[in-house]
Structure 1
Amino acid sequence: MARDERGSATIWLVTAAFAMSMLVGLAVDLGGQVHAQQRAHDLAAQAARAGAEEVLAAPAVEGRYARIDSAAAVRAARTYLARSGVTGTVRVRGSRINVRATDTYHPRFLGIVGINRVQVLGSAEAELVRTLGGETR
């Protein structure tokens, strides 16, 4: 008596194709999340640089010292983040400005299992450095 095995390969093929599709989807979404995180870090670094450029003018022009104008630096960094479409926090301490950017990645494939948003963070710090004649002060 011969057994009819028609269709058994089809079940295996469908299962394997589904598993491969899920693996490709995970790879795509993981790559997208890493890219979004790198973008958040880059935006935080650019916002920190924008803030660190806000220097108290009078003492710097007179050659006495260079210090970050805290209020202007926070405004400049927040403006940069807002124009880039992300949110974040800005903190100034002495000659350093710390920026933390928060962005959202929207997965392409993970939505199938209910993951529609992934929050990514990036942070950076900039320091105001003054040099005279090759000497850092």
Structure 2
Amino acid sequence: MTRRDRRRAAARRDRGTFSMFTVLFVPSVLLFAGLLLDGGLAIHARERALDIAEQAARAGADEIDVEVLRETGEPVLEAGACGRAVAFVGQFPGQYQGGCALTGADEVTVQVTTQVDTVFLGVIGFGAFDIEVAASAHPEDGA
């Protein structure tokens, strides 16, 4: 067998190897890219929603009943505290929805939900998902 024949035989054995590598490698790279990009988007959305919830809880905790504070020295929140917190969440653009509850006479808890749309993972069937966070605040009385 000549050198030329050996090269041809080796080329025939390797035929299709690169195609198989491409078929197996490209989907895994796209999956990892999707996890990185969409995971980063999810982390960012969660942090943003938590920031909004914390700020809204602080805004609600600013609604102190001044009369009760002067009489007793104890900070008690007004009924409008939740309204102010939910209105604060509504100021932000995007898909943020807020809920609020007075969890005590001096504590406001705000829940913020948002939806994150996937980019790469949407191609393989993982669509949008919801993120829900909560934050609480109470007024500082200086004591």
Give TM-score, length-normalised by structure 2.
0.81
Which residue, 100, 104, 111 being the options, matches 2:122?
Answer: 111
Indicate the residue corresponding to 1:78 in structure 2.
86
1:33 aligns with 2:36: no
Structure 1 partner of 2:137: 126
Q: TM-score, normalised by structure 1?
A: 0.84
C-alpha contact (below 8 Å) 1:59/1:66 kept by paired residues: yes
Contact 1:29-1:107 within 8 A present in 2 as well: yes
* Separation in 2, partners of 1:50, 1:37: 20
How much has 1:82 moved relative to structure 2? 1.7
- Paired letter, 1:101: V
How many Å separate the matches in 2 of 1:98 and 1:83?
18
Q: Deviations over 1:9-49 (max 9, x none)?
A: 23213421221121111111111111111111111101100
Shift, 1:62, TM fit: 6.4
Quote how far apart the aligned CAs of 1:63 are: 7.5
Percent identity, aligned pairs only, is: 27
Where in structure 1 do 4 or more consecutive aligned residues deviate above 4 Å? none
Q: Which one has a bigger Cα radius of gyration?
A: 2
- Aligned partner of 2:98 in structure 1 is 88
Q: Residue 46 in 1 paired to residue 40 in 2?
A: no
CA distance in 1, matches of 2:70, 2:119: 52
The root-mean-square deviation of aligned C-alpha atoms, in Å, is: 2.0
The answer to whether the 8 Å contact 2:98/2:110 transfers is yes
- Matched positions, count: 131
CA drift at 1:61: 5.4
Counterpart CA distance in 1 for 2:111 and 2:61 is 14
- State the partner residue of 1:55: 64
